[in-house]
Every structure is written in structure tokens, then in C-alpha cells.
Amino acid sequence: MQKLLIPSYSTPERNRQVLLVERPTAIPEARHFAIDEEALKSPAEGEFLVRNIYLSVDPAQRGWAADVNNYSPPVPIGGVMRALAVGVVVESRHPDFVAGDFVYGWLGWQDYAVVGPQQVMSQIKNPAAPLSAYAGVLGLNGVTAYLGLNKLGRPVTGDTVLVSTAAGSVGSVVGQLARHSGCHTIGLTGTDAKVEQCRNHFGYDIGINYKTAPVAEQLAQHAPQGINVFFDNVGGPILDTGLRAMAVAGRVVQCGTASVAAWNPPPQGLRNEREVLTRRLVWSGFVMFDHMADFPAAVQELEAMIVQGKLHYDEDIEQGIEHAPGSISALYAGENAGKKLIYLG
Amino acid sequence: MQKLLIPSYSTPERNRQVLLVERPTAIPEARHFAIDEEALKSPAEGEFLVRNIYLSVDPAQRGWAADVNNYSPPVPIGGVMRALAVGVVVESRHPDFVAGDFVYGWLGWQDYAVVGPQQVMSQIKNPAAPLSAYAGVLGLNGVTAYLGLNKLGRPVTGDTVLVSTAAGSVGSVVGQLARHSGCHTIGLTGTDAKVEQCRNHFGYDIGINYKTAPVAEQLAQHAPQGINVFFDNVGGPILDTGLRAMAVAGRVVQCGTASVAAWNPPPQGLRNEREVLTRRLVWSGFVMFDHMADFPAAVQELEAMIVQGKLHYDEDIEQGIEHAPGSISALYAGENAGKKLIYLG
């Protein structure tokens, strides 16, 4: 277990913030953000002040920054970029949160956040894993994998499970959980190095580089009876190919659409309704925020697996808030080698 | 209740059959079939001879005649066209079926069929409805509506339910069942006459002519909170429009893809995965043959509704087997005014 060292310091008077200054029409890039600072605020009654330690970078931030077609209202122009983070309470006017408590939640891309309990997704009472893990494998990413797979994918022993962005922060957990459930696991990823990582680090039975291999042929070869569960994070042509390799009564979990560069104007693709019909698929959309009641139990399960050495995860940590603005586009370019975090040490 | 008159006659020595003589690449037309005759066969031990009374014409026959992308093996070239029918047992070597029994099942487009119990979908012991009804509203069509809606659509009181081919043999039953469940029902159909039929005969709250009305605007107006259940029989642009009007957590039942003229080469359309994700839809394919264990109970429910006058249905009956070959394309052209049957009187 990692000993966490919180540097001793006196709280500064300024709070640096990453603001959304231009509305992206596709993937948010550095130019859509600006770093500004404001005077540090004090918590009102019922609130507390959190110093952020690890800022999370997530594919979903693209949707939060867009102004169409999403499950939550867009970040306003001029507002702090919506983000999850792990931080430590430094001043509190709420009885359940005391200085020194670690929390994970909606803290935003900034040095400090004044929040209430409703912004907290988990209170990290006795961290059994390194603190950074609570922003990834034990945060939104890992819990999304756990609940999306188990509640919508419903794998059973012997199933063949296909995962896109198989080495990513969600996909890598899906693959490992499916393997632990006795499934045959196939991972799709975009470099040979990540194929190796899928095979040797995350325990996939099969890794396929979708950029160089003929995916449909590979799926026919490695899933001759068809795919029972397809956990898809990318959409687009990979989704189309995967759908055409599904077994009858297969479950498709749509967890992201990362491969589609823009939704306005609406992009075209293969018509998939005949696949849904003839294969009798169940194709469902998974958004974590529908399942928050299950969050704590999922964290507990995943934490136990990490402590037992049964769940591997990688992190790609950069230090300094100045790395935040360009981090989403870097994520979409596949440049990261694990869960992308910004450390505000 | 209709008194059924079976004409008295002596069994002829010849059996007229509609054979599939050319593989259709799209909708089967008269030219893909030929009418031939064979010597009448006698049932072997365990079989029985059925004289067909009502041949069913179904959109699904298009898929059964195609050689790709379906849920059952294609009808062989030179084989009798696969079809459901209601008939009467005229000679039996099976203890459970005696001469005079009515049966509904896989009897094919022909005058006579020699079959066993596995070809029978229901034994019509004491018909409480007109015999023709057992080939439609109390056969594949009605039961598909009943089970597709209830098992996959899962409407609850107050839901808004959208139905395509709303006046068709499946859609008209879906609309009535949804209304009986306390749902707000919207029917899409292709002529003003059918819109009227939806409103005044099948009890839809709203009828929309998709060929003349702006469908997206109409749905926004009549389903301001979004659609909870979309029972889709057509696919294509109507499906795309419906998906974009769904409420969060809506259920889409894909029961047919009648509007898409050909699947080879694969047609293009709007990408729908972002709708599945952000609206958290559950989009499922319904094929009746997965649910045969539920068939008898569904027939019983529907039969009771008919007897009580709670379920309306229309029939479009032509007399003579010579009408069978052109009947599928007529169905796709929307020329029928109710469940299409061929009466072999």
C-alpha cells in the first residue's frame, strides 16, 4: 500500500482554474480552454473546501463540453471544465466531512473546489489502494466497466466477450472482469504495443490491432460461435463490424462513441436494424449516472480485487494543471499509456 | 360467431403448390414463383394430411425467400414457399390429430400438406373467433404484437407508445394493446385513409401519415416528454426519426425492417449509436420463434379480447391459390386493407 504524502503548505489565496472558453464542435483541444485564476472562496455552511490532488481526464468530457445530444447539460462557456478528481478536504463546514478526508467527485479542473456532499461520488475513508486509483479503476472508469458489464452485458461462463478500446481505462477492466467470470475475451485496440498489453498485462485471450488486422475475419476465426457480449466504447465502423459477428441473443453495451469525430452534421454508417432483428440482440446504452446507487458496492468489489492482485491497471500521470487543456485530445489520439491523470502535487 | 362451412368434396389426386423458382434479391414478386402440382401424398405413421383453408401472406416471407442474413434457413429453389396457414385435418395417422381438427402452422403455400405435430403452432379445438382470425390476429401477427410489446416493450400506464405500420396486422394489435394498458399511442402509416383507420378503428390517440407529415415535428408535438416504447416494423429513415424522439430509458422493439428495399449491398443510414448511448435505450430484436412456449397463452388472451369486442382486426382475403405469388409484393406496396389471406375455398 502506498503511503500518501500530502505536502505541508499554507493555503494560497488564488485558485487556478481551467475554463472552457470556446465551444468545441468535435474533440476539445487545448485552444478551447484557458487557465485563469480567481480568489480562493470559503465554504458556506454545509460546504467544504477541497484541494484537488488528481484531476481525471475522461473521454466523456468531450460530450460534457459539447452543446448537443448528451445526457447532461453542457459546461457553460467561461465555466470551469467539468471533471472528476480526487482531493483532500482542507476546511469544512459540514459535519460529515473533516479536514484530511479524501473525496472523489465533481471537483472540476481546478486547484480547489468548494463543494457540498452532492458533488461527492465516494468518500475514501481508509484507502486500501493508491490514492490515484480512486480517480480511475476505483472511480468512474472501473465502476462503469463493472456495472456496464454486469448489469447490461450479463456475461455467463463460456461466453465470448468482445471489448473495444480494450487497453483503455474502462476496457481493460471489462476484459479482466469478463475473464474472471470464465469468458473467452477478445480485445480490440489500435497499436501492436497495446495488443501485447492486452494479452500479457490485462489477460485477454485474443488481442486484435483493428488498424492493421482484418477485423471481421479475425472475429470469425476467434469467435466461431459468435460474440455473446460486445462492450463497445467507440461506435463507428468497429461497432458495425462487431454487430455482424454477434451470436443470437447477444448483448451490446454502448458505453461510448469515441471513434466518431463529430455528430453534427449526423454521420452516416451501415444500417444496423437488420442485425438487431435477425440476431435478436439487446443493444443498450450505459451511462454511469443512472446507476449511482450501485457505486459504493462496485468500488468495494474492485478494491478487493486490487488488494488481492487480481486486477491490473495502468496510469499515465502528468504533473501540473497546465497539462489539462490538451489532455482530452491526447486521449482521443490514443497517446496515453493508461488512465490519464493530472497530478497537482 | 361465424359458422364455418367446409365444402363437402372428395379429396382430389393432385396438390397445387406455389414453388419458389428464382431467388429474389429484394421483395419477392410473382415472377419468382410458379404454380405446379404433384400427386397427393399420404401421411406416414405419426403424420396427418391437412387441407389448407386460409394461406397467410406475411412480410417475413421476404426474409424466408432470401438467402442471406436471416433467422431461418432459406426456402430452397424449387421448394414449396414457406408459409403459415389454417387448415383442416382430412386424414390422420397421429393419435392427437383427428379428421375434422383445425390446425394453424407451417403448412406452406399449397392445397394440401402432409405434416407432423412439429409443424403445428396451434391446434384450434373450439374456435371462438372466425377461423380466418387464427391465421392473423390469433396467429403469428397478433401473438408477435402481444409478446413483442409485453416482453420487450414493457409498456406501463402513462407511457407514450409509437408504432410503425400502425394499421398493419401486427401494428394494429400493438396499438390497441398499448391503449388498453393506459398508454398514449401514436401510429405511423402511409395513407390518409389508414390514418383515419388508426384513429377511428384501432383507437390510436394520434395518427401520422409519414409520407406527407413532417414526422420529427409531429413526434415532438405529440410526445413532448419523448417516446417510451417504439414498436418498429419498418427500419430505415422512420426508425432513425423515431430513435431521435425517444425518452431516456426508452425501449425499441425491432420487429421488422419492411421499409428497406434490399440489404445487399448493405444500405447506409444515420449512425444511431449515440442515440442508444445518450438516451440509454434498450433496442431489441423480436423474432416470434424464440417465444413459442408463450404462444398458447397469448392466443388465449387475444381470443378473449376478440370475444369481448375489445380487439378489432381487418382482413383482406382473396380467393384462389393463383393470387399467392404476387401477394408479398402487394403487401409491401401497402395495397392491402387488413391481414392478407388467400382463401382456398
A217-244 as b/e: b if 16+ CB within 10 A: ebbeebbeebbbbbbbbbbbebbbbbbb
**Separate counts of helices (H) and strands (E) for chain A:** 9, 16
**A-chain residues within 8 Å CB-CB of B71?**
248, 278, 280
pLDDT in tens, B211-234: 999 999 999 999 999 999 999 999
The β-bridge partners of B56 are: B341
CA distance A143 to A129: 15
Nearest-by-CA chain B residue for A152: B282
pLDDT above 70 for B2: no
The interface predicted TM-score of the complex, written ipTM, equals 0.89
Q: Extract the runs of DSSP E, i.e. beta strands, from chain A.
A: 14-20, 33-39, 48-56, 84-92, 102-106, 112-115, 120-124, 160-164, 184-189, 206-209, 227-232, 246-254, 268-270, 282-285, 315-319, 339-343
At A13 the pLDDT is 80
Q: What pLDDT is stored for residue B300 in this prediction?
A: 95
Mutate to test the interface with B, among A275, A278, A281, A289 (most CBs of B within 10 A): A278
Q: Which CATH number fits domain A140-289: 3.40.50.720, 1.20.200.10, 3.40.140.10, 3.30.465.10?
A: 3.40.50.720
- For residues A84 and A135, give the distance between their C-alpha atoms in angstroms, rounded to a whole number: 7
Cβ-based neighbours of A1, under 8 Å, separated by 6 or more: A127, A128, A129, A130
Query: Residue B3's pLDDT is what?
Result: 44
CA-angle at B198, arms to B194 and B202, nearest 5°: 135
Nearest Cβ partner of B276 from A248, A274, A285? A285
pLDDT at position B37 over 70: yes
Residue A257 to chain B, least CA–CA distance (Å): 7
> What average pLDDT does range B292-319 have in this prediction?
95
Partner residue facing B268 (CB), from A63, A235, A270: A270
Average pLDDT rounded to a whole number, residues A146-165: 98
> Which chain B residue is nearest to residue A248, measuring alpha carbons?
B71
pLDDT tens digits for range A171-202: 999 999 999 999 999 999 999 999 999 999 99
Residue contact B285–A287, C-beta within 8 A: no
The tens digit of pLDDT for each residue in B167-215 reads 999 999 999 999 999 999 999 999 999 999 999 999 999 999 999 999 9
Range with lowest mean pLDDT among A89-93, A135-139, A313-317, B8-12: B8-12
Mean pLDDT to the nearest integer, B19-43: 95
Find out whether B31 and B301 touch, Cβ atoms under 8 Å.
no
Three-state DSSP state, B80: strand
CA distance linking residue B52 with residue B343, whole number of Å = 9
A141: confidence class by pLDDT, cuts 50, 70, 90? very high
Give pairs for B303-310: CB < 8 Å, separation 24+.
B303/B128, B303/B129, B303/B138, B305/B180, B306/B128, B306/B129, B306/B133, B306/B137, B306/B138, B307/B128, B307/B129, B310/B176, B310/B180
* Across B22-28, average pLDDT: 92
Neighbours of B118 (CB within 10 A): 8
Q: Which residues on A lie below 8 Å from B69 (Cβ)?
A: 274, 278
pLDDT at A70: 65
> Residue B70: its pLDDT value, please?
65
Biggest CA–CA distance in chain B, Å, is 64
Is it the case that residue A342 has pLDDT exceeding 60?
Answer: yes
Q: Alpha-carbon distance A26 to A37, whole Å?
A: 26
| Interval A275-296: pLDDT, tens | 999 999 999 999 998 999 999 9
Across B50-72, average pLDDT: 88
Q: A265 to chain B: nearest residue by CA?
A: B270
- Over range B11-26, report the average pLDDT: 91
> Looking at residue B26, what is its pLDDT?
87
DSSP state of B25: S
Is the pLDDT at B96 greater than 50, yes or no? yes
User: Per CATH, is A14-132+314-343 categorized as 3.40.50.300?
Assistant: no
pLDDT band at B11 (very low <50, low <70, confident <90, very high): low
Q: B140 in the Ramachandran plot: left (φ > 0), alpha (ψ -120 to 50) or beta? A: alpha
The per-residue pLDDT for B10 is 59
- Asked if B283's CB is within 8 angstroms of A70's CB, the reply is no
pLDDT band, very low/low/confident/very high, at B337 (cuts 50, 70, 90): confident
* Vertex B49 angle, CA B48 and B54, to 5°: 125
Asked whether the predicted pLDDT for residue B8 surpasses 90, the reply is no
Sign of the C-alpha dihedral, residues A216, A217, A222, A224? positive
Among B72, B239, B277, most A C-beta atoms within 10 A, so best to mutate, is B277
CATH, range B152-289 = 3.40.50.720
Mean pLDDT across B17-41? 95
- Under an 8 A CB cutoff, do A263 and B256 touch? no
Q: Which of A233, A238, A246, A271 to mutate to test the interface with B (most CBs of B within 10 A)?
A: A271
pLDDT value, residue A2: 43
Q: What is the pLDDT of residue B335?
A: 82
What percent of chain A lies above the pLDDT cut of 90? Answer: 87
Q: What is the DSSP pairing of strand A33-39 with strand A14-20?
A: antiparallel
When pLDDT is cut at 50, 70 and 90, the band that residue B1 belongs to is very low
CA distance B104 to A311: 55
* Domain edges within chain A: 14-132+314-343, 140-289
Taking 50 as the threshold, does the pLDDT of residue B58 lie above it? yes
Å from B277 to nearest chain A CA? 4
pLDDT in tens, B235-291: 999 999 999 999 999 999 999 998 998 888 899 999 999 999 999 999 999 999 899
Is the pLDDT confidence value at A12 over 80?
no
A173 burial class (0-12, 13-18, 19+ CB within 10 angstroms)? buried
Q: Which residue of A has its CA nearest to B244?
A: A69
pLDDT band at B9 (very low <50, low <70, confident <90, very high): low
The residues on A that touch B, with CB distances below 8 Å, are 63, 69-71, 232, 235-236, 239, 248-249, 254-257, 260, 263, 266-274, 276-287, 290
Mutation for testing the B interface, residue in A273, A288, A290, A292 having most B CBs under 10 Å: A273
Residue B12 has pLDDT above 80, yes or no: no
B245 CB neighbours in chain A (<8 A) are: none
Inform me whether the pLDDT recorded for A9 exceeds 70.
no
3-state secondary structure of B14: strand
Q: What is the pTM of this model?
A: 0.90
The reported pLDDT for the residue numbered B83 is: 97
3-state secondary structure of A145: helix
pLDDT tens per residue across span A231-275 = 999 999 999 999 999 999 999 999 999 899 888 889 999 999 999
Give the pLDDT mean for B92-99.
96
CATH 3.90.180.10 is right for the domain spanning B14-139+299-343: yes
pLDDT above 70: residue B6 = no
